[in-house]
Structure 1
Amino acid sequence: MIKLTTDRLILRDYCEEDFEAYYKLKTDEETMYYMQDIKLGSREEGKKDFADVLADMKSEHRKFFFLHMELKETHEQVGSIGYTVVDETPIGKIVHLGYFTYKKFWGNGYTSEALGKLLEFAFTKDNVYRVTTGCLKENVGSEKVMIKNGLIKEAEHIDYEWHDGKMKTRLEYRLLKREWKKWSNRFASKGHY
């Protein structure tokens, strides 16, 4: 069972009692605006999706490491953050990162704080070698979270994705374990870590 804490947050594995919170988050229009591919369409779909999450957590070859994100003081749900293992290589896992939070928490640094802790876990405890992620260029807040945590821009795909009735540009970011170590050491030496 994964449980990580930051100054203001608890990041933890989901448990059976979290279904309603999970379903509410993944059906919220504003929260899932940029995550249409994983937005839930019905309660039945939600129950199956959640059952799959719980079953995967018990698997020897766990694939999904998405964590419930909540405020430490009140336990109010902020969102979800995590990664999916896309490959396991002799030098470590390659994972695809994602995060989504309720709009009322945007702009408060919660996602950046959570991502910092998640990356530390991934690179020091879970044998992750490479993290990839991305966002639509218009999603400036999401890109800021990536940059703030040392991720490096690899590509800008013009008119790459059909979203909300038009073609949009997508940005791709990455972070390798050695890059994270270098970045986190530099960050710590400035007294910010």
Structure 2
Amino acid sequence: MTAKNKFPVLKTDRLILSKPLVSDVPDIVRQANNKKIEAFTLNIPHPYSEDDAVSWLNMINQGWNEGSQVTFKVSTKTDKEFIGAIGLKINKRFNHAELGYWLGEDFWGAGFITEAIGAILNYGFNQLNLHKIHAHYMEGNPASGKVMEKNGMIREAELKDHVKKDGKYLSIIQYRLTQEEYKSIIK
């Protein structure tokens, strides 16, 4: 994963996962500028501005160039609408990655993120040959855990009062899937 490598495009039944572009900035702002999105994430502020979107694009492009991150925009196949983002932060030393994602509120509950996670797990294990992919959610957002479970991810820990957000300590619930576990569920 370097600037020399072509950025992958992943397709599912209803989605296209591809490289976020500067032309996506207005859509990124429109979807991310939501207090509910900020409430369930650690790194998306509210209000969310154009400068925030440009900084995010710069960060994920740098991660791609360094081989430490691959982040996709999530778009619908039917109208190519930007609906969110999903990606992997890769730890080469330990051959694992942290899965992260967010989805615009108008698209919650339609199974889109479940579908996108499936594509990312396939990519991470079969293209990047990762040993393990892990993800977490903050207490108060159990729907995020449900989409992980729908993809076979296994709850492995609750980190009590692990993060501080808006002056309040919150617990983190962590999930995992190893390559061996992944292969056993896709038979």
Q: TM-score, length-normalised on structure 1? A: 0.83
Q: Is residue 27 of structure 1 aligned with residue 33 of structure 2? A: yes
Give the deviation of 1:127 after TM superposition.
Answer: 2.0
Q: Is residue 48 of structure 1 aligned with residue 50 of structure 2? A: no
Which position in structure 2 is the counterpart of 1:160?
Answer: 162
Contact 1:15 1:54 in 2 (8 A): no
Structure 1 residue runs of 5 or longer lacking an equivalent are 186-193
Distance 1:71 1:32 in 2: 22
**Which amino acid counterpart does residue 89 of structure 2 have in structure 1?**
T
Give the deviation of 1:164 after TM superposition.
Answer: 4.3
The root-mean-square deviation of aligned C-alpha atoms, in Å, is 2.0
Deviation string 1:125-150 (CA, Å, 9 cap, x unpaired) is: 01211111111232111000111111
Give the deviation of 1:42 after TM superposition.
Answer: 4.5
> Once the two structures are aligned, what percentage of the paired residues are identical?
27
Distance 1:42 1:108 in 2: 26
Change (3 A) 1:27 1:88: farther
Q: Secondary structure, in 3 states, of the residue corresponding to 2:116?
A: helix
**Which amino acid counterpart does residue 102 of structure 1 have in structure 2?**
G
Distance 2:147 2:153 in 1: 9
Q: 1:62 aligns with which of 48, 64, 67?
A: 67
Q: 1:37 aligns with which of 35, 43, 51?
A: 43
Structure 2 residue runs of 5 or longer lacking an equivalent are 1-6
Which segments of structure 1 move beyond 4 Å, counting only runs of 4 or more?
none
Which position in structure 2 is the counterpart of 1:85?
Answer: 90
Change (3 A) 1:73 1:43: closer
Distance 1:162 1:16 in 2: 31
**Which amino acid counterpart does residue 129 of structure 2 have in structure 1?**
N
Which position in structure 1 is the counterpart of 2:14?
Answer: 8
Alignment of 1:103-118 (within 5 A): 103-118=105-120
Q: 1:134 aligns with which of 122, 133, 136?
A: 136
Give the deviation of 1:85 after TM superposition.
Answer: 1.0
Change (3 A) 1:99 1:180: same
Q: Which one is further off, 128-137 or 28-37?
A: 28-37
Q: 1:76 aligns with which of 81, 98, 105?
A: 81
Distance 1:48 1:162 in 2: 23
**Which amino acid counterpart does residue 156 of structure 1 have in structure 2?**
E
Q: Secondary structure, in 3 states, of the residue corresponding to 2:10?
A: strand
Change (3 A) 1:157 1:86: same
Contact 1:32 1:100 in 2 (8 A): no
Distance 2:54 2:171 in 1: 33
Q: TM-score, length-normalised on structure 2? A: 0.86
Distance 1:181 1:105 in 2: 29
Deviation string 1:71-129 (CA, Å, 9 cap, x unpaired) is: 1001112211111113334xxx2111111001111111110011001100110001211
Distance 2:91 2:77 in 1: 31
